[in-house]
């Protein structure tokens, strides 16, 4: 499946030039044009899926091992000390391009804290409500 209006479909297909680090039959990995850190890479499936909820399981099974390999290569090549794997689903979560992609963001000791949040607290009411509702939905979907 391909979406004619999707820029990441065009980049993944090689119709728009990109700084490609890796390509196989299923994926293209490119440098992000607005990097959060040196080496910030995007893994794009060649098939269009809007987000993780639409990604076929056959592609999902391959994308995380690839993320590990690319993260390791970035650390080795650039002297990064670690990396974050980030994946946004929906505009509310910060997704700006509605074609599934994984961000591989190299991290450097002493560098900027790029992926972080302020921890809140989990109330007993929320805990019980969330566990009851979500586990019920997941169980009903088998």
The residues assigned a catalytic role are: 101
32 lies in the site for ligand AMP, by CB under 6 A: yes
Q: How far apart are CA 24 and CA 44, in angstroms?
A: 11
- Choosing from 1, 4, 25, 33, the residue that interacts with ligand AMP (CB under 6 A) is 33
59 binds, among ligand AMP, Zn ion, none (CB under 5 to 8 A by kind): none
The DSSP code for 54 is T
Residue 134 vs residues 18, 28, 126: alpha-carbon distances, Å: 40, 34, 12
88 binds, among Zn ion, ligand AMP, none (CB under 5 to 8 A by kind): ligand AMP
Q: Which residues contact 64 (CB under 8 A, 6 or more apart)?
A: 85
Residue numbers at the binding site for ligand AMP (CB under 6 A)? 7, 18, 30, 32-34, 42, 88, 94-97
């Amino acid at each position: 499946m391909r979406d004619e209006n999707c820029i990441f479909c065009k980049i993944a297909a090689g119709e728009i030039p990109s700084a490609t680090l890796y390509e196989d039959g299923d994926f293209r990995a490119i440098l992000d044009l607005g990097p959060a850190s040196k080496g910030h890479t995007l893994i794009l499936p060649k098939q269009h899926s809007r987000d993780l909820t639409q990604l076929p399981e056959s592609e999902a099974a391959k994308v995380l091992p690839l993320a590990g390999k690319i993260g390791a290569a970035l650390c080795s090549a650039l002297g990064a000390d670690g990396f974050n794997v980030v994946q946004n689903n929906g505009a509310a979560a910060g997704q700006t391009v509605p074609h599934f992609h994984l961000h591989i963001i190299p991290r450097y000791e002493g560098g900027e804290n790029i992926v972080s949040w302020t921890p809140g607290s989990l109330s007993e009411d929320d805990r019980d409500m969330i566990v009851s509702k979500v586990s019920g939905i997941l169980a009903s979907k088998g």
